[in-house]
């Protein structure tokens, strides 16, 4: 791993994540907690957006005020669980364009299979934030980013709730130019490809399915 992997160790993030990990946390609370953590992750992933000074008038005086310097944003949700992070991101980034990539993991090969792809036409002009709660094997995330690069995306960051060291290794080998922001780097993957200690299947817990 290198400096392009950021683990958010803020106490509020870690506390909320611990609540999400508990098998006793019901779907409604799980969904709310993911949305809240996603807002905090949005702060981190946009930390280095360019700033310019714009003259404004306050009720007291005129000042040169810092504003975001016209950087276009696009949030890409890796379906279906990525939508849980997408909602929180859009709370803070309401003007961002949105795209979706549908991938599922073949249970035998653990390789990603694409079934849906829809992104903004001007994606090459935007900072692309790819969101998926779990970076497990890394195969799906790497495939999604490769697909986005084929469409012209050049500035990409990946945001997840949990990351396994194995997934980080795969991502960095495939896309060393893509920064990874996560709430936790967990221990490992088990024999079924689940993150340990993890929180189970994020999509099932988010939508109340099995």
209 included as an active-site residue = no
- Take residue 136 and report the two structure tokens written for it: 């497990």
| Active-site residue identified among 109, 137, 147, 209 | 109
| Active-site residue identified among 21, 32, 105, 147 | 105
Q: Are 101 and 117 in contact (CB under 8 A)?
A: yes
201 included as an active-site residue = yes
- Take residue 40 and report the two structure tokens written for it: 């905090």
| Active-site residue identified among 87, 97, 151, 201 | 201
Residue 7 and residue 163: Cα distance in Å, rounded? 9
- Take residue 201 and report the two structure tokens written for it: 């299947």
Residue 72 and residue 95: Cα distance in Å, rounded? 9
Q: In degrees, to the nearest 5, what angle opens at C-alpha 53 toward C-alphas 49 and 57? A: 130
Residue 134 and residue 114: Cα distance in Å, rounded? 17
| Cβ count near 68 (within 10 Å) | 13
DSSP 154: -
186 included as an active-site residue = no
32 included as an active-site residue = no
Q: Which residues pair with 185 in a beta bridge?
A: 163
What residues contact 44, with CB distance under 8 A and at least 6 apart? 6, 8, 181
Catalytic residues: 105, 109, 201, 204
């Amino acid at each position: 791993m290198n400096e392009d992997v950021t683990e958010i160790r803020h106490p509020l993030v870690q506390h909320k994540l611990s609540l999400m990990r508990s098998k006793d946390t019901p779907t409604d609370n799980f969904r709310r907690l993911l949305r809240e953590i996603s807002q905090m992750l949005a702060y981190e992933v946009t930390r280095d957006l360019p700033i310019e000074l714009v003259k404004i008038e306050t009720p007291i005086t005129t000042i040169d005020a810092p504003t975001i310097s016209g950087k276009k944003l696009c949030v890409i949700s890796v379906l279906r669980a990525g939508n849980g992070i997408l909602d929180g991101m859009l709370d803070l980034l309401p003007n961002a364009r949105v795209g979706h990539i549908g991938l599922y993991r073949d249970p035998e090969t653990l390789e990603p299979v694409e079934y849906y792809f829809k992104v903004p036409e001007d994606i090459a002009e935007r900072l692309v934030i790819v969101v998926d709660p779990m970076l497990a094997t890394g195969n799906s995330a790497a495939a999604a980013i490769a697909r986005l690069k084929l469409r012209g995306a050049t500035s990409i960051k990946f945001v997840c709730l949990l990351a396994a060291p194995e997934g980080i290794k795969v991502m960095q080998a495939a896309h060393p130019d893509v920064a990874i922001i996560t709430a936790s780097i967990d221990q490992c993957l088990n024999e079924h490809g689940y993150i340990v200690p993890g929180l189970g299947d994020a999509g099932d817990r988010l939508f109340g399915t099995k």
